[in-house]
Amino acid sequence: MIELLKNHVAGEWVAGTGDGHTLTDPVRGEALVRVSCEGLDLSHAFRFARDEAGASLRALTYAERAARLADVVKLLQSKRDDYYAIALANSGTTRNDSAVDIDGGIFTLSYYARLGASLGNVHALRDGNASALSKDQSFSVQHVLTPTRGVALFINAFNFPSWGLWEKAAPALLSGLPVIVKPATATAWLTQRMIADVVDAGILPRGALSVICGGSAGLLDQVQAFDVVSFTGSAETAASLRAHPAFVVRGARLNVEADSLNSAILCADATPDTPAFDLFIKEVVREMTVKSGQKCTAIRRAFVPDTALDAVVDALKTKLAKITVGNPRNDAVRMGSLVSRAQYENVMAGIAALREEAVLAYDGSAAPLIDADAAVAACIAPHLFVVNDPDNATLLHDVEVFGPVASVAPYRVANGAGELREAHAVDLARRGQGSLVASIYSNDDAHLGRLALELADSHGRVHAVSPSVEQSQTGHGNVMPMSLHGGPGRAGGGEELGGLRALGFYHRRSAIQASAAAIDAVAQLTHLLTA
């Protein structure tokens, strides 16, 4: 019988009961490992993490916790080959795509280790400087941030079993909160293995890092007032979470990253004979194909001047035709599989839905898969749609197909004096009802600044690209720890990362009103927090 991965709760490794769920190779269809969390004492798991592990973490200073994170980074780096092998088998990703997840997660963890070292040997933070409350300035107020005395519960998505873990756990652990992770079942192996390596190395206090593999039933019932929950997944599931008594009655914090119909806008000046046009084409293709389009930040809608529509479609088709799909073990393959046949069916249903109002301009499935059986593998080739009337379209702005699928739509270029030439494109981007990211491409840096501000109200991040940053720009879909990750509206209304800003979710802000001498004493015991 195949191996059953154990859960780690209350500082112990515990096997779930029952048959559990079998994880499979999405290319070969082979059974890999099993997971089950049936029979776990969740109440004890949360209580131990909250009381025992939490106290041990809070006893450490920020600098001491940062040093522990640095040790975790060293450990993970020493085992990268093991993680790549798991990602290949369980997620069906090419080595380059696995790097986005594995190395991206380790890089984020190392960033917070370095950042945390600068906070010093203190246990609380000052939020700005003190302000006088009396005319003679003898009585003042100082806002402080102290770690919440709870648990950080992470309910993660299937597409980033490494990065999704560490981008949340790094600021949580640095803040002094014990972490309980519930990875998506389909790709839980990598998350479980990384946590097992860290736990077995004894780097963190006992119970500071827990993992529960399998279903999520009963988890939210354990969440108390000072706990925090971070969820990545569908807007539908997020809506059901928000209605839970943990948040409605007990007032626990919830951060959500949900659906996102991200956009890329080709500016009016970026005609086919300019560098910005080439940068736009390259990025759209990359975002369609990296991790087989299974990224919450991937480009789903590309808005281009109506006069450039044909040139854009032709250029995209030419590049997409070079994308080989199949078994990532074959060096000739540039794009691997989706994570499961269930996800394959979801993407195929989304493609069928888009065909109701869009024209399929490119279908890469005409080419055979490389070293993969189409009846078994969860491989889908790139699909490019054209929506000629985006104003009257609905599915374009409502349906996110979580795979190598994108739609191109034309916008009218405004020519009025002082009017933003891409105003129509901005309106179309906003039809997404809130997105994680929009990218814009122009040969004019000053113009990009103006356009970015127009998009900022409805996007968590605006990625502006011109030829001047061709070599240094980090990519539309890459989430950097220095920069905010999250988005308003449909995207969940949450915020993650953004440097030290990430620590705010795991701290409680309080106002200390006292004499100048008392405020001075507070200053001696805290570190001034700056973004």
Instruction: Give the catalytic positions in this structure.
Output: 257, 296
DSSP 317-360: HHHHTT--BB-TTSTT-SB---S-HHHHHHHHHHHHHHTTTSEE
DSSP 134-151: STTS-EEEEEEEEE-SS-
* Cα 45 to Cα 9, 15, 16, 189, distances in angstroms: 5, 14, 14, 20
Please answer whether residues 452 and 134 qualify as being in contact, where contact means their C-beta atoms are separated by less than 8 angstroms: no
- Burial of residue 38, with CB atoms counted within 10 A of its CB: 0-12 exposed, 13-18 middle, 19 or more buried: middle
Query: CA angle, 23 as apex, 17 and 27 as ends, to 5°?
Result: 170
Please answer whether residues 405 and 351 qualify as being in contact, where contact means their C-beta atoms are separated by less than 8 angstroms: yes
Please answer whether residues 384 and 300 qualify as being in contact, where contact means their C-beta atoms are separated by less than 8 angstroms: no
> Which residue shows structure tokens 């691997």?
336
Rounded distance between C-alpha atoms, residue 291 and residue 335, angstroms: 7
Query: CA angle, 310 as apex, 308 and 315 as ends, to 5°?
Result: 95
Please answer whether residues 527 and 116 qualify as being in contact, where contact means their C-beta atoms are separated by less than 8 angstroms: no
**E strand spans, 366-424:** 383-386, 405-411
The 10 Å Cβ neighbour count of residue 48 is 21
* Cα 435 to Cα 62, 432, 465, 486, distances in angstroms: 33, 7, 18, 8
* 197 token code pair: 């390596």
Please answer whether residues 435 and 458 qualify as being in contact, where contact means their C-beta atoms are separated by less than 8 angstroms: yes
Rounded distance between C-alpha atoms, residue 373 and residue 357, angstroms: 31
